[in-house]
Amino acid sequence: MDPQPLYYILAALLILVGIAGVILPALPGLPLVFVGMLLAAWAGDFQQVGWVVLVILGLLTVVSFAVDLLATAMGAKRVGASRLAVIGAVVGTFAGLFFAPIGLFAGPFVGALGGELIHARELRRAAKVGFGTWLGIVFGVVLKLGLAFAMLGLFAFAWFF
């Protein structure tokens, strides 16, 4: 039996799970997308998708890490978040997974709010910090989705043309 179709199925699954991982913080989104594309290219003996395209896709994957860190940090820093607020946002993001889909959006806000309340004990400031940190996370997700679709577009273009 030829294993090639199985490789393509696994590659497609990795890409789909990776796209879900762009939104779900517990999954390494764009790295999974990249691995899926690399597997598909390998299964096709790199005939449709060559090394140049794979290097570009790899660089876009690396950019996604920077986007992830910078978007959250900039959102938090812009509103003067404390270190506890940023830690709270991370904890809230993971805790929100258990209360999907609402928890995915509310978790980072609640976590940042709680962290800032522990730090400053002022509700108005904590709410501002929670919202700013949440906006940074949402902005990061939107940028990573854009990167994911750019990667898919580049891969499809290389595959078919």
Within 1-122, residue ranges assigned H as helices are: 4-23, 29-43, 51-78, 83-96, 102-120
Residue pLDDT tens, the chain, 161 long = 788 999 999 999 999 999 998 887 667 899 999 999 999 999 999 999 999 999 999 999 999 888 877 787 777 778 888 888 888 888 887 888 788 778 877 888 888 889 889 988 888 888 888 888 888 888 888 999 999 999 999 999 999 99
Amino acid at 30: L
pLDDT attached to residue 28:
84
Domain range for 112 is: 4-160
C-alpha to C-alpha distance for 137 and 43, rounded to whole angstroms? 35
Model pTM score: 0.79
Domain count, the chain: 1
> Residue 15's closest CA among 67, 56, 57?
57
pLDDT attached to residue 53:
97
pLDDT attached to residue 107:
84
Q: 83-124, pLDDT tens digit by residue?
A: 888 888 888 878 887 887 788 778 888 888 898 899 888 888
